[in-house]
Structure 1
Amino acid sequence: MRIALFVTCLNDALFPQAGIATVTVLERLGHTVAFPAAQSCCGQMHANTGYAAPARQLERLTEDAFAGQDAIVSPSGSCVAHLRAHTALPVYELSELLVDVLGVTDVGATFPHRVTYHPTCHGLRMLRLGDRPTALLRAVRGLDLVDLPEPEQCCGFGGTFALKNAAVSGAMLADKCASAASTGAEYLAAADNSCLAHIGGGLARHPGAPKPIHYAEILAATGGIRE
């Protein structure tokens, strides 16, 4: 199977460890992962702010960059949801590829820490990832997965929503951070670094609160540390 990584512009610029972790997991399972150098933004940001024509152009460029791949994997549920809605690419969020396509839940990871999981809005409502990410986390050796109270509640990020509606976003963030802190977890995991950045900013103001981490980084770990 020809698998290619769509790292997304946010991960490429700010959180490259999520993309590296995605490749690490797949290579551990015996797969070769291509990285088309022509990839760029998928157009989600443009579409969300009403710039339909530039968004369409970026979608077409993405289709061209990944032409011929059997599966395209990305550590970003929101970008996967956008590409799935606007292109014909065989694109998968990491947990979908691992569980549904490759038939794997145990990826050989070890992460001896207490972890809680936040199902981001795109993963919960658009991709309907369900228990795929948590099934993968439960198979990680040494990991203690604890439930997040009111997991379906949005963290308040929503892209430009956090900028245009700062007061509402901040209130939603405070609720999410309180829920995360109540778990006693060391880490809060999720499938989108955009949401993790937002939540992480709130948690950073509370000593002892969970640290944000992309769940792909946990799956890539073999001794409790990020590879």
Structure 2
Amino acid sequence: MNVGLFIPCYIDQFYPDVAIATYQLLKKLGCEVNYPMNQTCCGQPMANSGFSDLTKGCDVNFVKNFRDFDYIVAPSGSCVLHIKEHLKEGGDKAELDKIRHSVYELSEFLVDILKVNHLEASFPHKVGMHISCHGQRGLNLSSMSELVAPAFSKTEHLLNMVNGLDLKKPLRADECCGFGGTFCVFEEAVSVKMGKDRIKEHLVNEVEFICGGDTSCLMHLEGILKRQGSSVKTIHLAEILNSVL
């Protein structure tokens, strides 16, 4: 299985350990993984700000780097959703459709494509799970509490395979953390208040870590935790699934 590793720019610059953990995890699970060295930003920040018509260069570069892979996998639901919904340049319709249908968020790929039902992972800590909006409402990675439908979570399914991990869910399991891309810049006060509300529910559960599938949301929560002087840390799903003690 030939996998192209798609690493969003903020992970490349600020959280390279998440990229490394994703690469190592996919290799452990039997994938042939390649990292295109010329990949850059997918264009999501511009689209978030209402300028998706200016992302042609990002589209062309993305297609050039990832057109030859069977699957494209990223440890970021928001960037994956951007490619699925906004990729429109760089190839003909058939080529663009192929890329849009072969790009996956990490947990989605592990559950739906690799059908992972066992992991050699150990993480003996009390962990709170944060569900990011893009993954839940855009990629259908988990059920939504406002719908009368069977509950499911691909992230929770994977975390339940980790030895020693004590998973704690907040009361309002799928509430937004307030990050929202450029929203946290233009609506800073609202964004921070939403993040504090999210953290408060995790602290009630006395967690040691807050885990999620989007480092952008975790970065937002991490900043608030540090300013509060909290000992609680944030950690990406890939880092937990790749942990062996």
Q: TM-score range by the shorter chain?
A: over 0.9
Counterpart of 1:25 in structure 2 is: 25
What residue number does 1:159 align with? 181
1:15 & 1:75 partners in 2: Cα distance?
11
- CA displacement at 1:39 relative to structure 2: 0.9
Runs (5+) with no aligned partner, structure 2: 88-96, 143-152
TM-score normalized with structure 1 length: 0.94
Q: Counterparts of 2:158 and 2:117 in 1: how far apart (Å)?
A: 5
Q: What displacement does 1:59 show?
A: 1.6
Stretches of structure 1 lacking an aligned partner (at least 5 in a row): none
How far did residue 208 of structure 1 move? 4.7
Alignment of 1:1-227 (within 5 A): 1-87=1-87, 88=97, 89=99, 90-130=102-142, 131-223=153-245
Deviates more, 1:112-121 or 1:46-55: 46-55
Q: Which amino acid is the alignment partner of residue 52 of structure 1?
A: S
State how far apart, in whole Å, the 1-side matches of 2:200 and 2:57 are: 41
Structure 1 letter corresponding to 2:192: G
Aligned residues: 223
- 1:106-149 per-residue CA deviation (whole Å, 9 max, x = no partner) reads 22111111111000111111111011111100000111111122
Contact (CA 8 Å) 2:52, 2:86: kept in 1 or not? no
- Measured on the aligned residues, the alpha-carbon RMSD in Å equals 1.3
Counterpart residue identity of residue 30, structure 1: G
| TM-score normalised according to structure 2 size | 0.87
Moved over 2 A (4+): 50-54, 205-210
Q: Match of 2:145?
A: none
What percentage of residue pairs aligned between the two structures are identical?
Answer: 42
- For residues 91 and 188 of structure 1, the distance between their equivalents in structure 2, rounded to whole angstroms, comes to 26
Q: 1: distance between equivalents of 2:127 and 2:175?
A: 18
CA distance in 2, matches of 1:66, 1:82: 15
Shift of 1:186: 0.6
Does the 8 A contact of 2:169 with 2:202 survive in 1? no
How far 1:206 moved relative to its partner?
Answer: 3.5
State the shift of 1:207 in Å.
4.4
**SS of residue in 2 equivalent to 1:189:** strand
